């Protein structure tokens, strides 16, 4: 029997709706080729939701997403933090996986980079334990054993499947919460003797990412460090417009491009759909794993390889990469490759 994946879709703001429309077309066509299908459930969230309902994340959104297999989220505009952060925290999407890989055919300051940042996604400086007065403001950086153990476990499992090299990124020379993070990580590391595990201060990690990013395979770090380093990794591998990500929880996940709503090009039909499509590839892989459907894992590879082929073998480029092509040109080419 054909498996139907229920996907909660947040089409977001700015270029969000146009790249989401393009993406659902691709997913429909891809599902014709394989033995699964999709049912999309639109979830209103973001700037448009605020305007129409008075809430950036309407109260039923979380429950609606929980009823689905997973969520595909396009970028949100001004209200991003009121949507993304509650989604991550309330759905307990504790692992933010941000691969940064150079793509042959896309100019970048380095070649041959293939790394993944495993970012803790629920606490640290994002925990919202804060206070403000006229004279002072504080954010408490909370790091728990539970969250650190589970993010390190995810990172170790990923590193094991990759090049077996894992770097713990922290600032243990200054912050006691980082000493704690490092120690809990090293405790988990004892179960993974086959992985080469090292550690680095975050400032040095930022420097090394610029001068020698090829040395890294899997990096594990806390929430804010992961946020900053993943934008940097995008800059090093080419463009924020191509970076996908997943937010993984126990039994649910959310997939989203790392880039923002890009209001300056909204409605012009020239947005680069690469990041959201690569996020869909991660989604298909996750769905394949979750429901033991090898066809979905195959489709994930098919989608990724077809995108890479466009960059390697054609000159089709949207303006963010210096080209003159439209979103539809890119999609048309992609569909012709399938
Ligand atoms: C990201 C974004 C978010 C974050 C913002 C929009 C809340 O920058 O996904 O990296 O800080 O995590
Ligand atoms: Mn960010």
For the question of residue 231 being annotated catalytic, the response is yes
Does ligand 1 lie within 6 Å of residue 13's CB atom?
no
Residue closest by Cα to atom 11 of ligand 1: 227
| pLDDT tens digit at each of 338 positions of the chain | 789 999 999 999 999 999 999 999 999 999 999 989 999 999 999 999 999 999 999 999 999 999 999 999 999 999 999 999 999 999 999 999 999 999 999 999 999 999 999 999 999 999 999 999 999 999 999 999 999 999 999 999 999 999 999 999 999 999 999 999 999 999 999 999 999 999 999 999 999 999 999 999 999 999 999 999 999 999 999 888 899 999 999 999 999 999 999 999 999 999 999 999 999 999 999 999 999 999 999 999 999 999 999 999 999 999 999 999 999 999 999 999 98
Residue 52: burial class (beta carbons within 10 Å; 0-12, 13-18, 19+) = exposed
Does ligand 1 lie within 6 Å of residue 224's CB atom?
no
Task: Give the Cα separation of 181 and 40 in Å (integer).
Answer: 39
Does ligand 1 lie within 6 Å of residue 80's CB atom?
yes
Q: Scanning the structure block, which residue is given the tokens 């048309």?
A: 332
| Burial call 99-122: b when 16+ CB within 10 Å, e when fewer | bbbbbebbebeeeebebbbbbbbb
Distances (CA, A) of 40 to 64, 69, 244, 282, 288: 12, 10, 20, 17, 17
Give the mutation target among 123, 127, 227 for probing the ligand 1 site: most ligand atoms within 8 A of CB. 227
CA of 176 to the centre of ligand 1 (A): 25
Q: Scanning the structure block, which residue is given the tokens 């394949």?
A: 288
Residue 324: burial class (beta carbons within 10 Å; 0-12, 13-18, 19+) = exposed
Backbone angles phi, psi at 71, to 5 degrees: -125, 135
pLDDT of the residue at 239 = 85
For residue 229, which of 213, 241, 215, 214 has the smallest C-alpha distance?
A: 213
pLDDT of the residue at 2 = 85
In three-state secondary structure terms, 65 is helix
For the question of residue 145 being annotated catalytic, the response is no
For the question of residue 131 being annotated catalytic, the response is no
Full-model pTM: 0.96
Ligand 1 atom with minimal separation from the 88 CA = 12
CA of 1 to the centre of ligand 1 (A): 39
Backbone angles phi, psi at 10, to 5 degrees: -105, 110
Catalytic residue among 41, 203, 207, 291, which?
A: 203
Full DSSP string of 10-64: E--STTHHHHHHHHHHHHHHHHHHTTEEEEEEE---SHHHHHHHS-SS-TTHHHH
CA of 79 to the centre of ligand 1 (A): 11
CA of 8 to the centre of ligand 1 (A): 20
pLDDT of the residue at 116 = 98
Does ligand 1 lie within 6 Å of residue 84's CB atom?
yes
For the question of residue 126 being annotated catalytic, the response is yes
């Amino acid at each position: 029997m054909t498996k139907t994946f229920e996907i909660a879709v947040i089409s977001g703001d700015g270029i969000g709706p146009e790249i989401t429309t393009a993406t659902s077309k691709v997913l429909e066509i891809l599902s014709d080729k394989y033995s699964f299908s999709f049912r999309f459930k639109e979830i209103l969230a973001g700037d448009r939701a605020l305007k129409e309902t008075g809430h950036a994340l309407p109260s039923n959104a979380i429950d609606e997403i929980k009823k689905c297999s997973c969520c595909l989220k396009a970028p949100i505009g001004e209200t991003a933090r009121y949507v993304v952060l509650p989604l991550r925290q309330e759905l307990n999407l504790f692992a933010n996986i941000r691969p940064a890989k150079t793509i042959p055919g896309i100019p970048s300051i380095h070649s041959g980079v293939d790394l993944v940042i495993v970012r803790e996604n629920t606490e640290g400086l994002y925990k919202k334990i804060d206070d403000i007065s006229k004279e002072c403001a504080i954010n408490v950086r909370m790091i728990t054993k539970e969250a650190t153990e589970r993010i390190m476990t995810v990172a170790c499992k990923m590193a094991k499947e990759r090049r077996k090299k894992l770097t713990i990124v922290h600032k243990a020379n200054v912050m006691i919460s980082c000493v704690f993070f490092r120690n809990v990580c090293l405790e988990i590391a004892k179960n993974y003797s086959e992985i080469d595990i090292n550690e680095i201060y975050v400032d040095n990690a930022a420097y090394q990412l610029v001068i020698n990013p090829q040395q890294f395979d899997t990096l594990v770090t806390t929430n804010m460090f992961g946020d900053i380093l993943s934008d940097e990794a995008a800059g090093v591998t080419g463009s924020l417009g191509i970076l996908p990500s997943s937010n993984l929880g126990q039994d649910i996940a959310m997939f989203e491009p790392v880039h923002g709503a890009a209001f300056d090009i909204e409605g012009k039909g020239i947005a680069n759909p690469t990041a959201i499509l690569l996020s869909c590839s991660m989604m298909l892989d996750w769905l394949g794993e979750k429901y033991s459907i090898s066809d979905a894992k195959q489709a994930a590879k098919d989608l990724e390889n077809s995108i890479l082929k466009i960059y390697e073998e054609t000159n089709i480029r949207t303006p963010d990469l210096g080209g003159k092509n439209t979103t539809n040109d890119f999609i048309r080419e992609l569909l012709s490759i399938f």
